[in-house]
Structure 1
Amino acid sequence: MNLFPHPDNLKILGKHFCLEYQALLFSDEQQNPYIALTKKENYAIVQEILKHHFQSIPTLHLITQKTFYRYAKFLNFQEMQQKIQHNIQELFHFILQQAINFEASDIHLESFMDKGYLRFRIHGDLEIVSYFSNEIFKTLCSKIKLESKLDITNTQQSKDSRYSATFHQITYDFRIAYIPLYQGELLTIRIFYKNKDNLSLQDLHITSKHLNLICHALKNPYGIFLVTGPTGSGKTTTLYAILEYLKKENKKIITLEDPPEYKMHFASQVKISSENGFDFQDALKAILRHDPDIIMVGEIRDKTTLNLAFRAALTGHLVLATLHSNDCISTLQRIRNMGLDKQEILSSLLLIISQRLYKKPCPYCKNLPQKGCQKCSMQGILGREIATEVLLFDKNVKRAIRNETLEDYLENIDFEDLQANLNYKIQQGEIIELDYE
């Protein structure tokens, strides 16, 4: 049975009551109410409140403290939302600021049934933050589209735009994507934490075996590095950590991004703008006339960009790029399907890093018998940790690719793939295998 936070928790119970008695109202997909409690003995006092709001007392549903605090951490948000929701400008900026406070990667505003939903993606998971009436939701979406210069008159096509805002003297960039739904609309806002401190390769917590392979390949003055994985797997962060490792005053670094996610000293950062006709292909052609030593391509999306990137590597540049694929083997298959032959790949490709992000145990309570503390909202989770797979293109790997025997070769040398690296980090207590309940 799927249960969701009830939209009238604060109206019926109130924030202080919810926290004191660890009580929350939930509803199922048929809008049937349930009262969720961590302690059965609190049911009697909750019944006294509920009998004034429901014809029959909602069914009792016992939950763990972890589940309670997963939803209760948004009560302060909901309380403030009620106070400011008719000031749409203030509400919009409040949502952005709170998403940043929760270290969310994305904000989802979507209309389902008879209301608008607000969800944040935190540590890789989408969490329901709050609800809006249809009137407030539509007004909020229109305000966001206006602020980000999206065309509010055309509601039948998907659109993308950019927005910037400053909180506590730090400027953040946001990518706003809009798409019409069958009954409503969907706005998704990606947050770019470009002011984070520049990470080193060591800060990424890549295991020493894989880190040594990466550093060995970075001794090459030219060639191409590919960092692969799904959306939100930290590929750009890894690229910037590599750039920090390579950065020297006698090297010219140019990055191509849509938009730049981090600020970096001694790097010329080019903002790609497909809307204005300045895409990765155009930018890559243009920057080759600016005498770069190192080129970073935010994402290879098509055959033309792939060919240009490999051509740049062949002509004496070190090229770093990301690509969407599942692992090192599928990356090779994908770039061959995009039109590169074996010889083109082997002449330029230095290394493939495939990566994922997994939930990381909270450092403040991971060694305690009871997982969960105030720092992690009783979840036992705080942040995410990387797991990697690294394929170095040495002479043996190249020979195996020429002979179409790469998978057999990797099995014989005990290649540490993504799953093996993940299992090792779980054993070391660096990644959570399952949620604690």
Structure 2
Amino acid sequence: MSNLSTEAVDLHPADSPVAPLPVVMLTAPGGSHPIKDDLRQILALTADGKLFISPQHLSDPFVMSFMDQLDHKEIEFEVVHASMSEIKALYQTSASTDLKKLAETQRQAQVVEFMGDAHRRGASDIHIVVSHDITRIKYRLYGVLKEVRQEKSNVGREFCAALYNSMCDVSGDYYKPHISQDARVSRKFVNELGLYGARVATRPLVEGPMMIMRLLYDDTSKTTFEALGFLPVQIQDFKRLRSLPFGLNLITGPTGSGKSKSLQVNLNELYDETGGTRHILTLEDPPEYPLKANQSPIYPGETWNEAITNSVRLDPDVLMYGELRDVESAKAAYSGAMTGHPTWSTLHTNNAIASLQRLIDMGVPQYLVTDPALTTGFINQSLLPVLCPACRVPLKEHTHLIDDGLLARVKDLQILEQVNLLGEGCSQCRGLGVVDRTVIAETLLTNLQFMDVFSQRGASAARRYWVTEMGGITKISHAIMKIAAGSIDPRHAETIAGPLDFDRQLLELSHA
């Protein structure tokens, strides 16, 4: 029998955000104790005798059976409590040797190295910016860019070439630093890194090329609207829109605002609410997150119109189209909605009301956009960094850190005592001062009167009607709630959402 310890061991020492991880995983594919994929999500056995288990699965019969097998083989082990994401990271780290075997050159191996590092830190993007003398590599962590590495200029160019030419799926093309290019990282690399996908975009700058890589995760830590940061009334608005038998609903916001994640949560909730009895069909270019749906990519050479025409022949109950990028995809989404199906998609806009004008500007006929039986709902959102509870500092003791205008706006709101500011960083936040990101949003369920105000008096009047007559909550209002709760730095809120008195300005202008 083994000496089993059930005492939890801290996987993350205080002086390091990520403890050194063992290389040899006995429960990995090909290991001495291979297990099924489902069990690998909640359990990992390393060569140093540590059995990492998700705490909520300690009594899982398959986990207990595995421990019994180890006892029967007289293999000693120590139980370590670890989250599912930490267990996933263990397997990803152990796969680094296999990744290096995939890398054909030293530069590929280095690219794999910092991709893995960025993933372990939870970065959403990697920036490779090449100038005359130096290459800077930055990660976007919780919405904040942080420089993590510098290389010589020629090394950065070689990184870009190695990544694009030999690690991406491209059709007969090669890396050209003097033009803009888009690509997707090959499946064999993203699978080994534990990512759902990775997109690459390049553009020439004055001093050299720039390459941005968006890392796509299947983040299982946030599976509800509450976890994302939506208000209860906004969650009810989502539920109302999911209950409608037809209509187009758009989740909107700037780049990197979490639109696709909210769409994933929404469609998965729809699936759960209906017990999987409705056929949810997507058309995406490309798929960004796994969904409880039949996900279909736009294949090379296929137009949106062709894909839409085909999709409505596949007996769907709910349609989801990826981002509306141009007039073709926008009109195609309306064509799908006009067939009588509830339809969901995403769009780049600054606020919920602006989505109407954006669709019209894209070329969708106004009579379609302003039909409340067809255009049924808009959600607009942004993401704000969440302050580290361990090192954030109270504004009332550090008023000198913000400008006089912002201080006056905070005082005018009478929330000075509750507000916190970004701290210097600590071990708990990896020196960033922030630990997460949270949604600020506005949800608009259209009706005939609202559409009439928009058509006759414009977007400003429609916004005022939405707030004063329909009880609309703006992103600024939502941000102020979170600032007053002490979790958001007002400087971050004003940078991303606008001045804290912006609503007053807009509503007064529309009233005039």
Q: Give your verdict on TM over 0.5.
A: yes
Which amino acid letter does the alignment assign opposite residue 174 of structure 2?
A: I
- 5+ residue gaps, structure 2, are 1-15, 17-102, 395-419, 493-512
| 1:415 counterpart (451, 460, 472) | 472
Whether the 8 Å CA contact 2:130–2:208 is kept in 1: the answer is yes
Deviations 1:239-274 (CA, angstroms, capped at 9, x unpaired): 111101211321111122222122223x1111235x
User: Corresponding residue for 2:311?
Assistant: 287
User: Corresponding residue for 1:385?
Assistant: 438
User: Corresponding residue for 1:352?
Assistant: 378
Deviations 1:268-295 (CA, angstroms, capped at 9, x unpaired): 111235xx22343432222111111111
Which runs of structure 2 are paired with 1:37-436 in the superposition (5 Å)?
87-146=106-165, 147-150=167-170, 151-152=173-174, 154-163=176-185, 164=187, 165-166=189-190, 170-194=194-218, 196=220, 199-247=223-271, 248=274, 249-265=276-292, 267-273=293-299, 276-345=300-369, 346=371, 347-363=373-389, 371=423, 372-404=425-457, 405-413=461-469, 415-434=472-491
Runs of 4+ displaced beyond 4 Å? 166-169, 363-372
Name the SS for the 1:328 alignment partner: coil
Whether the 8 Å CA contact 1:351–1:391 is kept in 2: the answer is yes
Mark the CA change 1:198 to 1:429 in structure 2 (over 3 Å): closer, same or farther.
Answer: closer
In structure 1, how many angstroms separate the alpha carbons of the residues matched to 2:169 and 2:330? 31
Q: Normalization by structure 2: what TM-score?
A: 0.63
Name the SS for the 1:385 alignment partner: strand
Deviations 1:146-170 (CA, angstroms, capped at 9, x unpaired): 2215533644332211113257772
In structure 1, how many angstroms separate the alpha carbons of the residues matched to 2:286 and 2:324? 14
- 5+ residue gaps, structure 1, are 1-18, 20-83
In structure 2, how many angstroms separate the alpha carbons of the residues matched to 1:362 and 1:153? 40
In structure 2, how many angstroms separate the alpha carbons of the residues matched to 1:285 and 1:361? 47
Count of residues in Structure 1 that have an aligned counterpart in Structure 2: 349
Whether the 8 Å CA contact 1:303–1:339 is kept in 2: the answer is yes
Mark the CA change 1:166 to 1:155 in structure 2 (over 3 Å): closer, same or farther.
Answer: closer
Name the SS for the 1:289 alignment partner: coil
Q: Normalization by structure 1: what TM-score?
A: 0.73
Mark the CA change 1:383 to 1:198 in structure 2 (over 3 Å): closer, same or farther.
Answer: closer
Q: In proportion to residue count, which structure has more strand?
A: 1
In structure 1, how many angstroms separate the alpha carbons of the residues matched to 2:334 and 2:198? 30
Whether the 8 Å CA contact 2:190–2:198 is kept in 1: the answer is no
Deviations 1:55-102 (CA, angstroms, capped at 9, x unpaired): xxxxxxxxxxxxxxxxxxxxxxxxxxxxx9x92222111111011112
Whether the 8 Å CA contact 2:483–2:489 is kept in 1: the answer is yes
Mark the CA change 1:168 to 1:197 in structure 2 (over 3 Å): closer, same or farther.
Answer: farther
Name the SS for the 1:290 alignment partner: coil
In structure 2, how many angstroms separate the alpha carbons of the residues matched to 1:104 and 1:169? 13
RMSD: 2.7
Name the SS for the 1:108 alignment partner: strand
In structure 2, how many angstroms separate the alpha carbons of the residues matched to 1:283 and 1:403? 35
In structure 2, how many angstroms separate the alpha carbons of the residues matched to 1:339 and 1:101? 42
Whether the 8 Å CA contact 2:254–2:348 is kept in 1: the answer is yes
Identify which range, 253-262 or 315-324, moves more after superposition.
Answer: 253-262
Name the SS for the 2:295 alignment partner: strand
